[in-house]
Structure formats: C-alpha cells, structure tokens
C-alpha cells in the first residue's frame, strides 16, 4: 500500500507542478490581455483604429509567446491537453474576443479560427485553439458591439450601425447553424440576440431621424 501511495504522491506532485506552471503562464496572459483590452477601449473614445492596433501589437506578441510556453509544457503530455484545458480556457476566450474585435476593426470581417490560431502561434496538430473557446470568444466580442455602436453614433459616425448590424446578423445566423448543447456556449450565444436587438434599435434611431447617409442607404437598398 505504501509503495502505491508513494507512486501516487509522485504523480500527483508532478501533475500539481504542471498546473503550477500553467497557472503562472495564465496569470501573465491575463495581465497582457488586460493591457490589450485597455488599449482597445480607446476605440470607444474614437481614437483612430490604426493607433489602437499599433498600441496592442506588442502585448499580442507577448500573448503569442505565452501560448508558446503553454504548448511547451503540454508537449511532453500530448494526450493531456483536455486534462488541463480548464486551466487556461477562460483566458483564451478573452484573448479570442480581443483579437476578433481588433480584426473586425481592421478588416470589417470575422476573424476565422485558423487566423486566430495563426495570430497566437498555435498549431492544431499539437496545441490548438479549442473550437468552443473560439466560439465563446466571438460571443464575448459580440457583447462589446452595442456599446461601440452607441459611441460611434454619438461621435457622428452614422454609418457604423449599418455595418455592425450586417456583421452581427451574419455572425448570429452562422451560430444558429450549430446544434449547441445546453451548456456555457449555448448560454453565451443566447445572449448574442440582445446585442443584435440593441444594434438594430440604434440603427432604427439613426434611420428614423434621417441621419443615415444617402449613399449608404442606397447601398443597403441595393443589397436588399
């Protein structure tokens, strides 16, 4: 019996040490993500997008390096990704939400899963980005959009609601293709419709007051 528990002690200690190492990386990741978030918040104050992107670059490189360290820790335990997954997923979701928002600001399109992995230096065959984490990250990004739209309209950008609405509608429709289990992702997705409605209402306010630019209105009519 003693021999067995001696073995267990080594194994539990080893797995405890893995957790400690992961925890230390994750704490740095949380700090870096917080800095990215701070910079990103400046878009609400209408700082030019390019400046915001510039400000976040460095920290995103830091985060990429941290994912590299996570991958390294897990490298000797190739089948234990999901054993420790719970220890880094929350921060990963936050990082995805930030990257996806930045990407949308830059390109107007959705950050794809493979693009997210590339930005984070991840390799699916080894240490990938879990699909559910990616999807939850997109839901978190969606939560930021109503506020962004409100602030942009306040700052005089009357075309913003139309663009965000188009993006969010497409994203929402894409999510609806999935058969989600009754879990955390499902709950987060259910919240996305409130973001959508809020953006619709802002767009409605802009239209009803004749503030949407003629050009974009024609644009939209053409699309419809």
Site for a copy of itself in 26-85 (CB under 8 A): 30-31, 34-35, 37-38, 41-42, 44-47, 78-83, 85
Q: Which stretch binds a copy of itself (CB under 8 A): 58-66, 87-95, 96-104, 205-213?
A: 205-213
Among 61, 176, 187, 213, which residue interacts with a copy of itself (rule: CB under 8 A)?
Answer: 176
109 forms part of the interface with a copy of itself (CB under 8 A): yes
125 forms part of the interface with a copy of itself (CB under 8 A): no
Q: Angle at CA 24, nearest 5°, toward 18 and 26? A: 100
Q: Cβ of residue 173: shortest distance to a copy of itself, in angstroms?
A: 6
User: What letters, b where the CB count within 10 A reaches 16 and e where it falls short, cover 21-57?
Assistant: ebeebbeebbebbebbbebbeebeeeeeeeebbebbe
Extended strands (E) in 37-184: none
Q: Cβ of residue 76: shortest distance to a copy of itself, in angstroms?
A: 13
Among 209, 214, 215, 222, which residue interacts with a copy of itself (rule: CB under 8 A)?
Answer: 209
Taking each helix axis from N to C end, the angle separating 89-107 and 2-41, rounded to the nearest 10 degrees, works out to 30
Q: Cβ of residue 151: shortest distance to a copy of itself, in angstroms?
A: 6
218 forms part of the interface with a copy of itself (CB under 8 A): no
Touching a copy of itself, residues 142-171 (CB under 8 A): 147, 150-151, 153-156, 169-171
Strand partners, 215: none
The count of residues interacting with a copy of itself (CB under 8 A) is: 73
DSSP string, 132-165: HHHHHHHHHHHHHHHHHHHHHHHTT-TTHHHHHH
């Amino acid at each position: 019996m003693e021999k067995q528990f001696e073995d267990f002690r080594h194994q539990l200690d080893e797995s405890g040490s893995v957790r400690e190492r992961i925890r230390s990386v994750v704490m740095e990741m949380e700090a870096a993500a917080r800095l990215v978030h701070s910079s990103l918040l400046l878009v609400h104050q209408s700082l030019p997008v390019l400046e915001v992107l510039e400000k976040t670059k460095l920290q995103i490189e830091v985060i990429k390096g941290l994912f590299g360290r996570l991958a390294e820790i897990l490298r000797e335990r190739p089948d234990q990704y999901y054993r420790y997954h719970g220890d880094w997923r929350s921060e990963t979701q936050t990082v995805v939400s930030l990257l996806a928002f930045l990407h949308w600001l830059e390109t107007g399109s959705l950050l794809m899963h493979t693009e997210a992995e590339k930005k984070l230096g991840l390799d699916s065959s080894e240490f990938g980005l879990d699909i559910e984490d990616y999807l939850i990250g997109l839901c978190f990004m969606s939560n930021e959009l109503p506020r962004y739209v409100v602030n942009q309209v306040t700052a005089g950008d009357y075309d913003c609601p139309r663009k965000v609405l188009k993006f969010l509608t497409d994203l929402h429709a894409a999510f609806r293709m999935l058969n989600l289990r009754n879990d955390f992702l499902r709950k987060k997705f259910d919240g996305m419709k409130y973001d959508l409605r809020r953006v619709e209402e802002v767009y409605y306010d802009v239209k009803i007051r004749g503030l949407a630019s003629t050009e974009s209105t024609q644009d939209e009519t053409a699309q419809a």
